[in-house]
Homo-oligomer: A and B are copies of this chain.
Amino acid sequence: MDTQPAQAAMPQPDEITREVVDLMANLVALFHREYEEAAAARSLTGAQAKVLALLRRGPLPMRQIAQTLSCEPSNITGIVDRLEARGFVTREADRHDRRVKLVAATGTGSAASEELRESLNFAREPLASLGPEERTVLRDLLRRMLAGASGPGA
């Protein structure tokens, strides 16, 4: 990539990094608030919405949900319990390994999740300040950042 000899143009690389981190923190806070709000508007909690979102691509075993969300499996049990009680998901034993329970979104569940996703006007406000090509630049930067980091589930 780019060897960094002495660098006269860049006064304090750390300064920029630090500011980016701070900005990111604010953005994260903003995003979080919006997400919780949007979920609450459908009487879902953030955690429930996250699980439901994970199931968009198909049924998943409990354990995998837990891993993707970086929490204990026993935690997922409760969340899925509540989602199931409200008809948003179903639990079904895996045919090949009966220890495994596959969690699948019901029609209602997917609908709610999709609706929430659409309603996430989070970035509409913040992103509205950026022009189309700027969004593209932002997208590429974010892509590279995430590619560099440990690939999350999603």
Contacts and interface: CB of A to CB of B under 8 A. Distances in A.
Most buried by B among A1, A2, A141: A141
Contacts of A124: 17
**SS class, residues of chain A in contact with chain B:** helix
A123 interface: yes
Contact of A1 (B7, B25, B123, B131): B131
A41 to B, nearest CB: 15
Give the number of copies in the complex. Answer: 2
Nearest to A131: B2
A16 B137 contact: no
Interface string A2-20: 1010010110010011011
Interface string A83-112: 000000000000000000000000000000
